[in-house]
Amino acid sequence: MQKIIIQGGNTLSGTISISGAKNSAVALIPAAILCDEETTIYSVPEISDRDNLIKIIEKLNGKVQVDKDTLHIDSRNIENVYIPEELSSKLRASYYFMGALLGRNKYVEISLPGGCKIGNRKIDFHLKGFKALGATIIEEENKYIIKADKLVGNKVYFDFASVGATINVMLAAVKAEGTTIINNAAKEPEIVNVATFLNNMGAKIRGAGTSKITIEGVNYLHKAMVEVIPDRIEAGTYIILGALIGERLTIKNVIKEHLTSLISKLQEIGVKIESDENDIIINKADRLASFNITTLIYPGFPTDLAQPMTVLMTQCDGTSILEETIHSNRMGQVPYLNSMGADITVKNQMAFIKGKTPLYGNDVTASDLRAGASLIIAGLIAKGTTKISDIEHILRGYEHIVEKLSNVGANIKIIEE
Ligand code: EPU
């Protein structure tokens, strides 16, 4: 079994270049199968989620050529093939094949999606959207069959601005007859990235990035290309690390506007951040004041950075409070941080973090992707050795994380044990 082993205490300096966004790439790859010709996606991160989505496209008789971080996808011969559990359960984003195959072939048969176990993660909004477009949904023990004679545009309203449901309904609607309007749509930058890709193919989507998205159906989608936007969560993870142990740590290839909620919060508590067009330079703060955050939909504070922030909070003077409002079970890192010396109490969706506490290396487990990232940060600031198990969660979402951190001075490696 692979584990990550870290000797804490090193200062980090140099440059970390940010990869394409996981949560964009995992939607863009399924979106490519809506194309009636060929597509190219640039800046795709080399993560296991990418490889699992490629396997699904190949299962559907599509062809994918991988050229470093570029994918060439030929979706001309995509067929309706059942996507079995061993493929669908590897990641959450396998559910984007529901919208994409429904939109393309009016039929999809797929087992349940997987992904991090960070809450209930229902897909009722997705299904409600497909139904509004005219689809019938048959739910069997462990799979969905979703089919339609034809899809017709309609108005869809989500009770909560779900990222997944917004993208999935957009995928189903691009080739529907007539106009679909999604109200209370999610506004995350990843949604804009997907809409741009579809529009590059000839789709007619307006309003992506706002809470009302209008999609006029088209019959044919032609050859197109797209670049994955930089990963704001990967960048945020390294920025948080820089605030703790950075010495002019440069985070390169970022879209600063996507990180406003994080950067503003760090500046409020005393972290010095310099930036130019695409880079952020960050130094460790001598003293960090305690602070509170509540996770919100974009442009609020992202849930995906809340777990790494709990590690920063352990190093602040006083009690900090984190309130998680998006996912119901996103505190998997807490028992392990406490085993390393943190003083964190969780009540319902809130974490109360008393600082400043020194952290000490320990054997810990990555319960999910961002919990794993938190444990890497904790290991890097701790005294002694930290050994992290279940690292497949981390490798699902952070491209070359061990290499990137080693290159800026971290003592971190993957071992077989
Ligand atoms: N929800 C429902 N019904 C639905 C859909 C969502 O009740 O049909 C609820 C969920 O249970 C959850 C909330 O709405 O409590 C938010 O879910 P959303 O659909 O927005 O999240 P997601 O699409 O499942 C994506 C990212 C997550 C990220 C969230 C929020 C991908 C593959 N995943 O998940 O990323 O936390 O949006 O921004 O894009 C991560 O990268 O670590 C990660 C978990």
Distance 327 CA to ligand 1 centre (A): 7
Contact 89/396 with Cβ under 8 angstroms? no
What digits encode the pLDDT tens for the residues 228-237?
999 999 999 9
Please give the Cα distance from 159 to 180 (Å, whole number).
Answer: 17
Q: Say yes or no to pLDDT of 394 above 90.
A: yes
Return the DSSP state at 32.
Answer: G
Indicate which atom in ligand 1 lies nearest the CA of residue 26.
32
Contact between 387 and 364 under an 8 Å Cβ cutoff? The reply is yes
> How far apart, in whole angstroms, are the C-alpha atoms of residue 262 and residue 256?
10
Q: What pLDDT shows up at residue 137?
A: 97
Of all protein residues, the one whose alpha carbon is nearest to atom 33 of ligand 1 is: 23
Q: How far is the CA of 15 from the centre of ligand 1 (A)?
A: 31
Please report which helix (H) or strand (E) contains residue 380, including its range.
helix 369-381
Whether the CB-CB separation of 92 and 397 falls below 8 Å is answered with no
Ligand 1: nearest atom to the Cα of 188:
38
d(CA 377, CA 307): 10
Judging by DSSP bridges, how do beta strands 224-227 and 38-42 pair with one another?
A: parallel
Element of type H or E holding 132: helix 124-132
274-313 residue pLDDT tens: 998 899 999 999 999 999 999 999 999 999 999 999 999 9
CA of residue 405 to ligand 1 center, whole Å: 28
Q: Which of 64, 116, 229, 249 is catalytic?
A: 116
Residue 32: what residue type?
Answer: A
Q: What is the DSSP string of 266-332?
A: HHHTT--EEE-SSEEEE---S--B--EEEB-STTSB-HHHHHHHHHHHTTSBEEEEEE--S-S---T
**CA–CA separation, 382 vs 377, rounded Å?**
9
- CB of 123 closer than 6 A to ligand 1? yes
pLDDT in tens, 106-145: 999 999 888 888 888 899 999 999 999 999 999 998 899 9
Could you tell me if 393 and 384 are in contact, meaning their C-beta atoms sit under 8 angstroms apart? no
Contacts of 337 (CB under 8 A, 6+ apart): 310, 311, 314, 344, 359, 374, 375, 378
For residues 196-217, give the mean pLDDT.
98
Of 122, 123, 162, 333, the one to substitute when testing ligand 1's pocket (max ligand atoms within 8 A of C-beta) is 162
Report the alpha-carbon distance of residue 238 to residue 251 in Å, rounded.
Answer: 7
Largest CA distance in the chain: 64
pLDDT (0 to 100) of residue 265: 96
Percent of the chain residues topping a pLDDT of 90: 95
Cβ of 167 below 6 Å from ligand 1: no
Torsion angle (degrees, nearest 10) of CA 326, 330, 331, 333: -140
Q: Put residue 144 in one of left, alpha, beta given phi > 0 → left and psi -120 to 50 → alpha.
A: beta
pLDDT of residue 117: 85
Q: Which two structure tokens, joined as six digits, stand for 209?
A: 């990035």
Distance of alpha carbon 126 from the chain centroid: 18
- Rounded to whole angstroms, the Cα distance separating 247 from 387 reads 25
Task: Check if 176 has its Cβ closer than 6 Å to any atom of ligand 1.
Answer: no
Sheet holding 212-216, edge to edge: 155-157, 179-183, 212-216, 204-206
114 C-beta closer than 6 A to ligand 1 = no
Q: Give the pLDDT of residue 15.
A: 98
- With cut-offs at 50, 70 and 90, classify the pLDDT of residue 31: very high
Which pLDDT score, from 0 to 100, does residue 60 have? Answer: 97
Residue 285 CA, ligand 1 centroid: distance in Å: 32
Q: How far is CA 387 from CA 144, 204, 399, in A?
A: 39, 49, 20
Q: What is the mean pLDDT of the chain?
A: 96
Residue 35 annotated in active site: no
